[in-house]
């Protein structure tokens, strides 16, 4: 289901997924979409996580640019050409979602999650894909008092030379982190992965910072040509272990 959330510069849609069974309350988690936006693939992923026993909130982080329906890809992204064509509209939005815009929105997403019916009080988790991985890290570093788990998968730009690089805030975080990087990813190469690992270690954070061999950027998105089934299932296993271990006491 889609709900409306008051965000920093207007009203944003957000997908909410709830467990198919059980009475709750359930821990809350925030899912940050990739550049291609809220669409059936994100809904499917959110429901899979919800059925582990979580309430999942997936906001339309590009609400300034349009509704989820307006921004959804129109063509077939299962070919490289189709994915590239969809990216012509989608990828520039990533650059326009600057840190100064993202941080106030993140506060709105965290606040909204806490108001949803059936969400248990206590710590929350967050995870994201592609540019959504950056938003997940920023959520953990901006709200260390509530974020206990943070996952980032085929993320880009997590450890750069920019003064607002996400890795620079890790000293403020308290969450456990799990990263599953794409192999040969121009947006997160070996040097950046190493830099991220050093920052996690320097902050004294429990973490996993792995490269999924043979998996390209976007590997978890089954509606695109980047999909890699083995890496996708690995990411789901590692994500579930992260969330269960931090939000359910290892259940």
pLDDT tens-digit series, residues 151-178 = 999 999 999 999 999 999 999 999 999 9
Burial letters 175-187, b for 16+ CB under 10 A, else e: bbbbbbbbbebeb
Q: Given this model, what pLDDT does residue 250 score?
A: 52
Q: How far is Cα 144 from Cα 170, in angstroms, rounded to an integer?
A: 10
Reading the block at residue 98, the tokens are 């600057």
3-state secondary structure of 246: helix
Q: How far is Cα 246 from Cα 127, in angstroms, rounded to an integer?
A: 13
pLDDT tens-digit series, residues 45-55 = 999 999 999 99
Q: Measured in Å, how far apart are the chain's first and last C-alpha atoms?
A: 27
Reading the block at residue 74, the tokens are 């129109």
% of the chain with per-residue pLDDT over 90 = 98
pLDDT tens-digit series, residues 57-73 = 999 999 999 999 999 99
CA 138 to each of CA 6, 112, 121: distance values in angstroms, whole numbers, following the listed order: 19, 17, 21
Report field, pTM of the whole predicted structure over 0.85: yes
């Amino acid at each position: 289901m889609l709900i409306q959330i008051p965000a920093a510069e207007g009203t944003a849609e957000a997908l909410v997924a709830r467990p198919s069974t059980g009475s709750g309350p359930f821990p809350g988690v925030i899912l940050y979409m990739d550049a291609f936006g809220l669409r059936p693939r994100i809904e499917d992923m959110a429901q899979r996580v919800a059925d582990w026993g979580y309430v999942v909130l997936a906001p339309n982080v590009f609400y300034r640019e349009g509704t989820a329906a307006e921004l959804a890809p129109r063509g077939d992204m299962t070919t490289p050409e189709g994915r590239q064509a969809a990216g012509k509209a989608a990828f520039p939005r990533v650059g326009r979602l600057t840190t100064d815009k993202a941080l106030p929105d993140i506060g709105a997403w965290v606040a909204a999650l806490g108001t949803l019916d059936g969400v248990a009080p206590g710590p929350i988790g967050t995870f994201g894909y592609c540019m959504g991985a950056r938003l997940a890290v920023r959520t953990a570093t901006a709200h260390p008092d509530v974020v206990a788990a943070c996952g980032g998968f085929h993320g880009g730009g997590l450890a750069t030379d920019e003064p607002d690089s996400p890795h620079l805030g890790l000293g403020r975080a308290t969450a456990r982190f799990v990263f599953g990087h794409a192999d040969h990813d121009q947006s997160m190469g070996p040097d950046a992965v190493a830099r991220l690992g050093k920052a996690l270690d320097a902050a004294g954070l429990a973490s996993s910072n792995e490269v999924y061999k043979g998996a390209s950027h976007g590997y978890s998105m089954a509606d695109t040509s980047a999909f890699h089934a083995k890496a996708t299932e690995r990411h789901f296993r590692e994500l579930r272990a992260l969330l269960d271990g931090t939000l359910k006491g290892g259940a």
